[in-house]
Amino acid sequence: MALVEVKVPDIGDFDEVAVIELMVKVGDTVKVEQSLITVESDKASMEIPSSTAGVVKELRVKLGDKVKEGSVVLMVEASGDAAVAPAAADAAPAVASASAAAAPVLVAAASSANGPIEVHVPDIGDFKDVAVIEIFVKPGDAIKMEQSLITVESDKAAMEIPSSAAGVLKELKVKIGDKVNIGDLLAILEGSIAAATTAVTSASAALSVASPASVSTPAVAPALSTAVLSAPAHNPGAATLGLPHASPSVRKFARELGVPLEEVKGNGPKGRITQDDVQAFTKSVMAGATQTKAQAAKAPAGGDGAALGLIPWPKIDFAKFGPIERKEMGRIKKISGANLLRNAIMIPAVTNHDDADITELEAFRVATNKENEKSGVKVTMLAFLIKACVAALKKYPEFNSSLDGDALVYKNYWHIGFAADTPNGLMVPVIKDADKKGILQISQEMGELAKKARDGKLSPAEMTGATFTISSLGGIGGKYFTPIINAPEVAILGVCKSTHEPVWDGKQFVPRLMLPLSLTWDHRVIDGAAAARFNAYLGQILGDFRRVLL
Ligand code: CAO
């Protein structure tokens, strides 16, 4: 089977454009017209399709390369002659004849015109009866020259149609789903087109004569039969509107999944949203880690209780009683609020309180820190608690499990999350494989993770995978509290500040350093007796840490 070069076709005005996305890799089987790479100029981005079907043997371009008409994109082992597109004798996809005239011909427009300006669909090459899939503007908007008005889409491509005139939008003549063709009236603007000398192709010039001022939008694209044009990447109008920076296929993909692209963070070059970004966003929403704006609007952190058949949340005009200030909650607070609400409502949680005698352990911790003063690593009580909890979790494995329908999933790894108070809200970094780490290593990792949490630099991987969580308020104060389980975990340990208390040793009261423990557990998985045993065992370990070795 022959190796065929797949080249960049005639891409009209685009010369020396940068490769910003590779959509295939060596070994992939590609079809004719399947998009291979995305290129981008300062005005537009475009997906370059394959003219040949077969298996990709070699990629000849990499991200950042500059390509132009004729550049070899990749080598394909063709799956047969029939697989080569008819117009691909030189491996270039067919370019509609209109592209020959794609170079805009400046047509003198009225040097100044006030009053209604009609904006028509320009020459869009081979596109016929294309559906309007997006509308970016609404009546009353001030429209700039070249600002995208709508997106149209055929089965092969999507294209944003920009305005050729500036003015205030009086009336939109299309709606989502309408099919449009060259010359169709899109919108009526009011204002001056003095600055908007109209660029039209010769093919569409005929459309530009209407009364009193009729302007067809500039031919935005060389009329490629197969290349896919997306929004002008740096369209100033688009920027004003905050339109997401993504290729047409990514937009289509997002639309199919119902993903609001404007809420997706782009990790591609220049912040471009890639298919991976859309997938990651979708996964995060499904996992409950991200809420879309629409979800947040439907289910405010306070919840309206309607879904539970509760009476509505009280709506009070607080300003009636005194001065107020309203501040939107941060993203992390909103997300954790929704999670906490679900966990508080859905888990039949019970909390057991107990005290552990840490007199010797604290003395050992203080002595260790003195010895290690120069090492820069401070041993914390929390590190001992993590290690002690691992021992208790090993002894009582249901505390290290998760519910999956009617089954329990027992985890044979011990990743311990710890609540960290940050300026942005509560975060839970995770010490992975705490069973395999010593106190010094755990202390050091905790310090690093807590700092990252406070600086807002924790990666998703550093916040996931916990099998049990500890929430320590020991550095702050308090006696006991009732922490909320971090689902899908089934228990959480709350720790408060240790204090010296009189403890009866059988003969007399002696001062002992007592650490208040609050263990919240899911009663569907754990029984009260098991919880009491877990706390008691934890107390024994903290009382004499040598027991960890047993
Ligand atoms: N009893 C008495 N003193 C304690 C203690 C305890 N249980 N735990 C910590 N301390 C002391 C420490 O020894 C330290 O004292 P020194 O500075 O004299 O050595 C001081 O309190 C401060 O400790 P810390 O809070 O900086 O360190 P930590 O390892 O205990 O905790 C971290 C780290 C990240 C958990 C903590 O900074 C934090 O964010 N805590 C809040 C967690 C939270 O918000 N939980 C609630 C969640 S539910 O809404």
Residue 390 zone, left/alpha/beta (φ > 0; ψ -120 to 50; rest): alpha
Q: Is 539 in the pocket of ligand 1 (CB under 6 A)?
A: no
Ligand 1 atom index nearest CA of 422: 39
523 is known as an active-site residue? yes
Q: Is 377 in the pocket of ligand 1 (CB under 6 A)?
A: no
Nearest CA to ligand 1 atom 18: 475
The two structure tokens encoding residue 442: 């755990």
What is d(CA 163, CA 151) in angstroms, rounded to the nearest whole number? 12
Q: Is 421 in the pocket of ligand 1 (CB under 6 A)?
A: yes
Ligand 1 atom index nearest CA of 481: 48
What is d(CA 6, CA 77) in angstroms, rounded to the nearest whole number? 10
Provide the 8-state DSSP code for 272. P
For ligand 1, the distance from its centroid to the CA atom of residue 223, given in whole angstroms, is 65
Read off the pTM: 0.54
* Residue 249 and residue 24 in contact, taking contact as beta carbons nearer than 8 Å: no
Nearest CA to ligand 1 atom 10: 475
Q: Is 419 in the pocket of ligand 1 (CB under 6 A)?
A: yes
For ligand 1, the distance from its centroid to the CA atom of residue 371, given in whole angstroms, is 21
For ligand 1, the distance from its centroid to the CA atom of residue 515, given in whole angstroms, is 12
Q: Is 515 in the pocket of ligand 1 (CB under 6 A)?
A: yes
What is d(CA 530, CA 428) in angstroms, rounded to the nearest whole number? 26
Q: What share of the chain is helix, strand, coil (3-state, %, to 5)?
A: 30, 25, 45
Q: Nearest to residue 496, comparing CAs of 519, 512, 467?
A: 519
Q: Is 483 in the pocket of ligand 1 (CB under 6 A)?
A: yes
**pLDDT tens track of the chain, all 550 residues?**
688 899 988 876 667 888 888 889 999 999 888 889 887 776 566 788 888 899 999 999 998 899 998 999 999 998 754 444 433 333 333 333 223 223 322 222 333 446 788 999 887 766 788 888 878 888 999 898 888 888 877 765 667 788 888 889 999 999 988 999 888 999 999 875 443 333 333 222 222 223 233 333 333 333 222 233 333 333 333 333 345 777 777 887 888 898 999 899 988 766 878 888 999 999 888 877 787 888 776 655 455 677 778 888 899 999 999 999 999 998 888 888 999 999 999 999 999 999 999 999 999 999 999 998 888 889 999 999 999 999 999 999 999 999 999 999 999 999 999 999 999 889 999 999 999 999 999 999 999 999 999 999 999 999 999 999 999 999 999 999 999 999 999 999 999 999 999 999 999 999 999 999 999 999 999 999 999 999 999 999 999 998 888 7
The two structure tokens encoding residue 265: 């963070």
